[in-house]
Structure 1
Amino acid sequence: MTVAFHRLGVRRDGDEWIVGRVDSGDFVAVPEEGLLAIRLLGQGMSVEQVRARLWEETGTDLDVDDFVADLSDAGLVAEVEGRPVPSPPPPRPTFPWLQPRYVRWTLHPALHLALSVPIGAGIACLALRPAIFPGWEAALWTGHGVAVLLTWAAIAWLTTGLHELAHLVTARAAGVPARMTLGTRLQFLVAQTDVSGIWLAPTRVRVTVYLSGMAVDLTICGLALTWAYFIGPNPLTSWTILIQALRLANQLLVFMRTDLYFLLQDVTGCRNLYGDGAAYVRGLLRGRRNTLAALPPRERLSVRLYAMLQSVGTVACLAFAALVTLPLVITLIAHSVRDLLAAVEPWAMAEAVVVLVLVIVPDVLWARVWWRRHGPRIRRATAAVARR
């Protein structure tokens, strides 16, 4: 039996090799013998020939048939005996016309040094005059709530777009066909950029892609702080500073898959810190203590520590949603509906409508995105229960 692979890339990772497809983000970790087997299969050797060659050169009796089956399940095998292996097409990247050669400059250290100027200036201005950091009352620049809410929404979505664009552009500069989508992190609706293909890039490039969004956030915040110091605060800079500061603080919630989570995962050398941590906790709840046996020894301590943080953070976050966020949302909706029904002036009606839209639409989007991700699993579980 002969095998043909999709276009693969490789990167050494400790004692193993990461092998996978940049276009689809599918990767596996294999030992030296596995990498040799992939290369021999890619040269047109049959499964039987590869097994014999491995035994001759390394003394390893690898079940190449099972190995090929695992690679096929991972989406790396294109053909078996000349017959195509069915697999979903790679996701369509965002802005496919954006070629790496157009944006390769975003990975240059000179740009990173240049961004440190506005960031450093903002920090210096804040240190010299802490009062330029606004309170929430500074952002309430008018008594018309609808104008304040629309200002907040416009700045929040604009800066979110710039944050995600930074991830997209730096990943594209590294040859990764990244794409921007909406996603969920616990009770939060988030914009996110899938940069899975960056796994094969060098460490410096991976770190640049992970932190590029935060670099943009810090740059925007630094510019706004500098403006407030030299020219004076205004509603625009106040909202910008507050929104960016809140977004940067949210990155510290590494029990969700924030930008800093991916940096933490890379630094600890773990390949799926979030998934392994969740599996470890589920195993403990079911009385199993050997759920980490399949992981390399160097990852086990990191996963255990992260699992503790993940558990505490998730419980705290969901408790906050149940005790604070949900009652607040219900109250806002109830008050807005009451104000809309009782409103006489057009401005009051518009304000009630804007509040309803800004509160309800994100929740509807969250529910849709969440169901698209988890719905098939729930339907399968429901069908399995019904068959019993």
Structure 2
Amino acid sequence: MSIMLRSILSLVPLEIRKDKKHYIVEDTDSREFYEMNKVSIEAIYLIQQSFQLSEIERQLKEKYPDEEVNILDFAEQLLDLNLIREIDGVKIETNPKKKESLGFLWISPKIGKFFFNTYAYFIYSLLFVINVILLGCYPSLFPHYKDLFVFNFMVFNIPLLAGLTILLVFIHEFGHILAMRANNLPTKLGIGHRLFLVVFETDMEAVWKLPSKNRNGLYLAGICFDSVILSIALFSQLIFKNEPGVFLGIMKIIVLDTFIRMVYQCCVFMKTDLYYLIENVLGCFNLMESAQQLIKKQLPFKFSQKAEVIFESEKKMVLLYSVFYFIGVFLSVSLYAIFYIPQLLYALKTVLPGLEKPLTSLPFWDAALFSLQILIVFMLLLISWRKKYIRKSHM
């Protein structure tokens, strides 16, 4: 059904909240959020009062003479977002949005507030500074790619790393979960990927219900817990330096894993915790998409891409973010060059010759099982990629 200037629209239930620069519109049925400017919000209010689109356009042009107002284009955008319920009294047939169930409601907000309050954030900040000082003053504590290899047999190193990584990532994400519950917000834990890494992901969409100033702590919650873990591992190496090698080896892996993930947060060309923090502080959302659009426009060859709306007041911030975008790419490449690639090459160089050994020998089975472990990791990564592709294809 086409939308015309004489049309009267009926919208789905919406909640509208003022943000730093613009407004956040929540579709309460699907729990999806959209950023809109003041003119768009005025248009929504007039639509909710059952004015014809032609009358709405006339009022908006009169009230905002310096703004470009095209109510038909705006109505089509609302239709694309499934925010229109009826056109001239005729119900719109759309595919219902799947409302994902959120949980962790069994965690009391009081427990969340115990871990995330003004005093707690001060302690987390202090630990972060102490960690930087320790890594700077004690070069032996600084992680090295060979810290991964605690055991002589590679087949034992991968399960140890996988187990510790899963535990540490869960602790990181549990920080986000507790911070969400501290604000009495529901959430859920899922699985995804960052480039070639399989990761857990906490659904933090509900943070848009909070004022802008209250969101920052939720984005930093995972890093706060990382700082605690890193402090424990660093001090353990200093205090128990005469303990058995396996214990210190585990502490070194914890430092290695946590350090890499904390640096990884600075790779803001992906949507890391720090990326969302930057967006929130600047009050400029869709930074990544806008920066990618800006960067692609400067390239000699053109990409087919969906244009993002860049508000005039945000262009300088998008340009500044583009600089950090490239810094993030550099950091990501550095992590692979300093840690991941040397680890893989060292492991392959150490273990693969074992495949030439007799079938009954330990080196052969070490190489075979190690190869199987690597294959399983890549299979998990492919599953994550496939899920993301399917999700995008249904949007």
Scaled by the length of structure 1, what TM-score is found?
Answer: 0.76
1:179 aligns with 2:188: yes
Greater mean alpha carbon deviation, residues 89-98 or residues 255-264: 89-98
Q: 2: distance between equivalents of 1:126 and 1:161?
A: 24
CA shift digits 1:6-28 (9 cap, x unpaired): 352412232x2222247755333
| SS of equivalent to 2:310 | coil
Greater mean alpha carbon deviation, residues 140-149 or residues 99-108: 99-108
Equivalent pair of 1:120/1:222 in contact (CA under 8 Å): no
Greater mean alpha carbon deviation, residues 110-119 or residues 254-263: 110-119
Q: Look up the equivalent residue of 2:12 and give its one-letter code.
A: F
Q: 2: distance between equivalents of 1:139 and 1:335?
A: 13
Equivalent pair of 2:11/2:86 in contact (CA under 8 Å): yes
Q: 1:109 deviation in Å?
A: 1.4
* Residue 283 of structure 2: aligned partner: 269
Q: Look up the equivalent residue of 2:277 and give its one-letter code.
A: L
| SS of equivalent to 2:96 | coil
Q: 1: distance between equivalents of 2:28 and 2:123?
A: 30
1:298 aligns with 2:313: yes
* Residue 216 of structure 2: aligned partner: 207
| SS of equivalent to 1:184 | strand
CA shift digits 1:91-132 (9 cap, x unpaired): 333546546565344442132234346545555655665544
Equivalent pair of 1:100/1:175 in contact (CA under 8 Å): yes
Q: 2: distance between equivalents of 1:50 and 1:105?
A: 54
Scaled by the length of structure 2, what TM-score is found?
Answer: 0.75
Q: Look up the equivalent residue of 1:244 and give its one-letter code.
A: T
1:28 aligns with 2:28: no
| SS of equivalent to 1:191 | strand
Q: 2: distance between equivalents of 1:78 and 1:97?
A: 34
* Residue 38 of structure 1: aligned partner: 44
* Residue 115 of structure 1: aligned partner: 124
Q: 1:214 deviation in Å?
A: 1.0
* Residue 101 of structure 2: aligned partner: 92
Equivalent pair of 1:178/1:195 in contact (CA under 8 Å): yes
Equivalent pair of 2:267/2:332 in contact (CA under 8 Å): no
Q: 1: distance between equivalents of 2:113 and 2:83?
A: 28
Equivalent pair of 2:108/2:181 in contact (CA under 8 Å): yes
* Residue 383 of structure 2: aligned partner: 368
Q: 2: distance between equivalents of 1:58 and 1:189?
A: 53
* Residue 263 of structure 2: aligned partner: 249
* Residue 237 of structure 1: aligned partner: 251
Residue 77 and residue 338 in structure 1: after superposition, are their counterparts in 2 closer, same or farther (change >3 A)? farther
* Residue 8 of structure 1: aligned partner: 15
**Structure 1 gap ranges (5+):** 380-388
Q: 1:163 deviation in Å?
A: 0.9
Q: 1: distance between equivalents of 2:140 and 2:122?
A: 28
Residue 133 and residue 38 in structure 1: after superposition, are their counterparts in 2 closer, same or farther (change >3 A)? same
CA shift digits 1:22-77 (9 cap, x unpaired): 775533333334323434545xx213299459829963596656544423433444
Q: 2: distance between equivalents of 1:210 and 1:174?
A: 13
1:154 aligns with 2:163: yes
Q: 2: distance between equivalents of 1:40 and 1:214?
A: 43
Residue 49 and residue 242 in structure 1: after superposition, are their counterparts in 2 closer, same or farther (change >3 A)? closer
Residue 12 and residue 336 in structure 1: after superposition, are their counterparts in 2 closer, same or farther (change >3 A)? same
Equivalent pair of 1:210/1:263 in contact (CA under 8 Å): yes
Residue 134 and residue 378 in structure 1: after superposition, are their counterparts in 2 closer, same or farther (change >3 A)? closer
Residue 220 and residue 110 in structure 1: after superposition, are their counterparts in 2 closer, same or farther (change >3 A)? same
Q: 1: distance between equivalents of 2:393 and 2:222?
A: 33
Equivalent pair of 1:28/1:74 in contact (CA under 8 Å): no
Equivalent pair of 2:154/2:351 in contact (CA under 8 Å): no
Residue 353 and residue 78 in structure 1: after superposition, are their counterparts in 2 closer, same or farther (change >3 A)? farther
Choose from 353, 358, 371 the match for 1:356. Answer: 371
Greater mean alpha carbon deviation, residues 255-264 or residues 197-206: 197-206
Equivalent pair of 1:121/1:226 in contact (CA under 8 Å): no
| SS of equivalent to 1:183 | strand
Greater mean alpha carbon deviation, residues 181-190 or residues 52-61: 52-61
| SS of equivalent to 1:13 | coil
1:48 aligns with 2:52: yes
Equivalent pair of 1:19/1:30 in contact (CA under 8 Å): yes
| SS of equivalent to 1:8 | strand
Equivalent pair of 2:267/2:331 in contact (CA under 8 Å): no
Q: Look up the equivalent residue of 1:47 and give its one-letter code.
A: F
Equivalent pair of 1:40/1:50 in contact (CA under 8 Å): no
1:144 aligns with 2:153: yes
Q: 1: distance between equivalents of 2:345 and 2:240?
A: 40
Quote the sequence identity (%): 20
Q: 1:327 deviation in Å?
A: 10
Q: 1:166 deviation in Å?
A: 1.5
Equivalent pair of 2:155/2:366 in contact (CA under 8 Å): yes
Q: 1: distance between equivalents of 2:269 and 2:152?
A: 38
Q: 2: distance between equivalents of 1:372 and 1:352?
A: 31
Q: CA RMSD in A?
A: 4.3
* Residue 385 of structure 1: aligned partner: none
| SS of equivalent to 1:47 | coil
